[in-house]
Structure 1
Amino acid sequence: MYVTIPNECSAEISTPPLASTSPKSAEARLKSGAYLYFEGDEVEWLYQVTSGVLRLTRLLADGRRQVIAFGYPGDIVGFPAADLHHTDCEALTDVRLQPFRRTHLENGDGDPKLHSALLQAALREISGMQDHFMMLGRKSATEKLASFLCVLAERVGEDLGAYRQINLPMSRSDIADFLGLTTETISRTFTQLRKSQIIAIDNIHTIIIQRPTALLSLAEGDNA
């Protein structure tokens, strides 16, 4: 999942469950904290998340960590870069995945519909990453966090009366490394949003959006 906020509070559309005329591989399962693959591993499989949340990370040359994306149900992870995985991939919760052989992406492996669906998913990933990097360079800390919460609210939020509730399986440091900020800045910005009564913090992993219009305005850079 990449954070992109164009002109409205909407998330990138995830890929629906991929249909295949070929026999499906057995579903894969990961426990929270387990790794699906590591950066530099050879790519043999692509995976569509069916439940749970993954975290994709890279280590920079100076040792700092960059969170590249979070994989939510419907997302496909594992696209190759020069035949290798270009991130580590760790389960933030218990995760279920549907594996697809890499050959389905490269030559269809006898299933042209699946081949086309995987290509479209790869193109969406490239577009989403470009938008995310642009957001990292152009938005303020408040705009970044508001954008992140808007996307989650739209994609995986649950109605709670007049409000919207979202669960955050990732830590504050994960969010900071995803948005190009420090953990202290993320914590301070959460506090500012809470004091403005735009959100309420039920616990460290549960956020209640009380004023979604105000949150969207912040995401779009309207701080008036």
Structure 2
Amino acid sequence: MYVTLSSESTAANQTLAPSLVFQAPAPQQQQRSYATGTHLFHEGDTANHVYEVKTGVLRLTRVLENGRRQVIAFGLPGDIIGFPNGDAHHTDCDVVATAEIVAHRRSTLETGAGDPETHQRLLHAALREISAMQDHFMMLARKSASEKVASFLLAISNRTGSPRGNFTTFSLPMSRADIADFLGLTVETVSRTFSILRKDGIISLETPQTVLVLDMEALLDASQTDD
């Protein structure tokens, strides 16, 4: 998942994202449960599979030349991650929240021997990833720190939130450090922005990992740039 700009001005951001329909894996696919902390692959590993997230959350990271970590993206239900750079993975990937994942063999997909519907779904996922990545880069360049954090919360809410009365609640299994490394911010800035959003009555934190959105319109406003 990338934090994007393209859909923020639409009414879709004020409603929950539709549920995705997953089909049972075909014989050439593998479906497994992965515990938190498990690594699916490391940067440089041969990319024999791409991975379809059914439940849970994955984290894609790279370590920069200066030793700092960059969180590239989060894999949420409905995402397909692990598209390679040539024949190798170009990030590390580990599990942030226990996940059910379907592994699709690259060899089957590339030879056309797999299910045509699966091919189509993976193609659409790849195109969505490219578009979302471009929007994410634009967001990193244009938005203020507080707008980035609000955009992140809005994106997670739209993807995984569930209604609770007039409000929306969602789990936030990634750490504040993960969010900071994803948005190019410091942990202190992320924590301060959370505190401001709480003080303004926009969100409530039932636990550090459970967010209740009290005012979706205000969160949308907080996510948008003025220019």
**Contact (CA 8 Å) 1:198, 1:215: kept in 2 or not?**
yes
Matching residue of 1:32 = 36
Secondary structure at 1:74 match in 2: coil
Return the alpha-carbon distance in structure 2 between the equivalents of residues 31 and 159 of structure 1: 27
For 1:73, which of 64, 71, 77 is the aligned residue? 77
Secondary structure at 1:86 match in 2: coil
Return the alpha-carbon distance in structure 2 between the equivalents of residues 13 and 81 of structure 1: 31
Return the alpha-carbon distance in structure 2 between the equivalents of residues 107 and 49 of structure 1: 23
Return the alpha-carbon distance in structure 2 between the equivalents of residues 131 and 104 of structure 1: 31
Matching residue of 1:52 = 56
How far residue 13 of structure 1 moved from its aligned partner, in angstroms, is 8.1
**Contact (CA 8 Å) 1:32, 1:93: kept in 2 or not?**
yes
Matching residue of 2:163 = 159
Instruction: Return the letter of the residue paired with 1:17.
Output: F
How far residue 117 of structure 1 moved from its aligned partner, in angstroms, is 2.3
The farther-off stretch of 86-95 and 96-105 is 96-105
Q: What are structure 2's unaligned runs of at least 5 residues?
A: none
How far residue 16 of structure 1 moved from its aligned partner, in angstroms, is 4.7
Return the alpha-carbon distance in structure 1 between the equivalents of residues 175 and 38 of structure 2: 16
**Contact (CA 8 Å) 2:57, 2:96: kept in 1 or not?**
yes
Query: CA 1:178/1:16 → structure 2, altered by over 3 Å: closer, same or farther?
Result: farther
Secondary structure at 1:26 match in 2: strand
1:192 equivalent in alignment to 2:196: yes
Return the alpha-carbon distance in structure 2 between the equivalents of residues 104 and 117 of structure 1: 14
Secondary structure at 2:180 match in 1: helix
Secondary structure at 1:82 match in 2: coil
How far residue 129 of structure 1 moved from its aligned partner, in angstroms, is 1.0
Calculate the TM-score normalised by the size of structure 1.
0.91
Return the alpha-carbon distance in structure 1 between the equivalents of residues 127 and 184 of structure 2: 24
Return the alpha-carbon distance in structure 2 between the equivalents of residues 12 and 65 of structure 1: 30
Matching residue of 2:112 = 108
The farther-off stretch of 103-112 and 50-59 is 103-112
**Percent sequence identity over aligned pairs:** 51
Matching residue of 1:98 = 102
1:17 equivalent in alignment to 2:22: yes
Return the alpha-carbon distance in structure 1 between the equivalents of residues 184 and 21 of structure 2: 29
**Contact (CA 8 Å) 2:17, 2:160: kept in 1 or not?**
no
Matching residue of 1:125 = 129
Return the alpha-carbon distance in structure 2 between the equivalents of residues 12 and 123 of structure 1: 19
Secondary structure at 1:58 match in 2: strand
Aligned runs of 1:163-178 on 2, under 5 Å?
Answer: 163-178=167-182
Query: CA 1:174/1:110 → structure 2, altered by over 3 Å: closer, same or farther?
Result: closer
Return the alpha-carbon distance in structure 2 between the equivalents of residues 125 and 220 of structure 1: 22
Return the alpha-carbon distance in structure 2 between the equivalents of residues 89 and 110 of structure 1: 25
Return the alpha-carbon distance in structure 2 between the equivalents of residues 139 and 121 of structure 1: 26
Return the alpha-carbon distance in structure 2 between the equivalents of residues 148 and 65 of structure 1: 19
Return the alpha-carbon distance in structure 1 between the equivalents of residues 133 and 24 of structure 2: 25
Q: Deviations over 1:171-200 (max 9, x none)?
A: 000000111111010001101111111111
1:41 equivalent in alignment to 2:42: no
How far residue 202 of structure 1 moved from its aligned partner, in angstroms, is 1.3
Query: CA 1:164/1:94 → structure 2, altered by over 3 Å: closer, same or farther?
Result: same
Return the alpha-carbon distance in structure 1 between the equivalents of residues 226 and 56 of structure 2: 33
